[in-house]
Amino acid sequence: APVLDGLPQQPADPLLALIGMFRADPRPDKIDLGVGVFRDDGGATPVLDAVKHAEELLLARQDSKSYLGADGDRGFVALLEPIVFGADAANPLRTGVQTPGGTGALRLGMDLLARARPDMAIWIGEPSWANHVPTAAAAQLTVRRHRFFDQVSQRLEIDAMLAGLAQARPGDALLLHGCGHNPSGATVHAADWLRIAAFVRERGLIPFVDLAYQGLAHGLEEDAAGLRILLEAAPEALVAYSCDKNFGMYRDRVGALWVQATDGDALARARSNMLSLARTFWSMPPDHGAAVVRLVLSDPLLRASWEAELAGMRDRIAGLRRAVAATEPRLAALAEQTGMFSLLPVSAAAVTALREEHGIYMAGDARINVAGLRLEDVPRFVAAVGRWLG
């Protein structure tokens, strides 16, 4: 039999299937809350002005496309560090490399952990981003789950989370969303971060922070607060970062992975393993997006323009959240949540009915991309969802 006959069929990505259904729907007032990209009030996902300008500069100035190294654009990584770790947070025990998006950073970090300690478990909250568990499994890590958020009550479950994590062994990894939790939007407050950080330190866990939405929840500084608390508490830690959302560069695949180690020797060995893994995964990350981000961050005017556009995206999402909550008190939790996503407290049957009867499209678990709403759609959206609320 042909060799490739040995391949089992894999399920189609449900969100991509949803895109197909949405396109085929002839209703003019259909609403797409499926795929997780920012949209403006006209439904577009535009290229940011700051990015367009930096691309023009890059086109005019770039004089070579020769290879870089497996660590990508070092200037890009260095310019992100004060944004992620704080203006005065230079740390000789931290090292970073550019990666293809946040996904590349997650995969690289998980393979690094698997190489360091093959029998470790990585703890992932329930619910979490749909790609977290498959990525950990692809890196051959053992996946354990803990509770995180209750869809019906819309509450963060820190007590249940820490109770579940009581089973973790020292040296296990704990994956945490830095801000704007996907899919729940649940806001982790400073007091919660301090509890988690104290637990991580006491139990000897290694935090792996996934920061994919910095600036889209509360603000650039605010959205890094949890990460900074954790990195202060834990001697060893990993950070996966994405610029794909906060710079609107989704398909350019812009990200970074940092590792914090206990001493310089361990750090150097970690970096050498990051580079050797990257060589076999993608050899080196794609240049364009990181070069553009580097240009934006190194030019004060472009940087100010980016920060203003980012604030505009954040304000639009927050405004939609307030509008939904004000129209329907049973959805009040949405105004407390942050970032692009919320997980509506409705059943799978409701998700199907909303699609079939109202042309409102969302992921099967009732996750909505809040930015997919237009302000004028809010009353109709809320009226349709309201029928299914408890």
Catalytic residues: 129, 210, 212, 245
Regarding 102 and contact with ligand PLP (CB under 6 A), the answer is yes
Q: Which stretch binds ligand PLP (CB under 6 A): 1-9, 98-106, 192-200, 366-374?
A: 98-106
Size of the site for ligand PLP (CB under 6 A): 13
Binding mask 20-49 for ligand PLP (x = CB under 6 A): ----------------x-------------
**Binding flag, residue 372, ligand PLP (CB under 6 A):** no
Q: Which is nearer to ligand PLP, 175 or 267 (CB)?
A: 175
Measured from the CB atom, the residue of 132 and 358 that comes closer to ligand PLP is: 132
CA–CA dist 199, 161 (Å, integer): 11
Smallest gap from Cβ 253 to ligand PLP, in A, equals 7
**3-class DSSP state for residue 259?**
strand
Of residues 179-238, which lie at the interface with ligand PLP (CB under 6 A)? 182, 210, 212
* 238 contacts 209 by C-beta, under 8 angstroms: yes
Please list the alpha-helical segments (H only) found in the chain.
Answer: 14-24, 49-61, 74-85, 101-116, 132-138, 158-165, 190-203, 220-223, 225-233, 264-281, 288-298, 300-327, 333-336, 348-358, 378-386
8 A C-beta contact, residue 173 and residue 120: yes
Give the position of tokens 């997780």: 36
**DSSP assignment string, 219-258:** -HHHHTHHHHHHHHH-SSEEEEEE-TTTTT-GGG-EEEEE
Among the listed residues 154, 242, 246, 338, the single contact to ligand PLP using CB under 6 A: 242
Q: Can you tell me which of 55, 244, 287, 377 binds ligand PLP, judged by CB under 6 A? A: 244
Contact 87, 224 (CB under 8 A): no
When binding is defined by CB under 6 A, the residue of 177, 218, 228, 314 that contacts ligand PLP is 177
Q: Which residues bind ligand PLP (CB under 6 A)?
A: 36, 101-103, 129, 177, 182, 210, 212, 242, 244, 250, 255
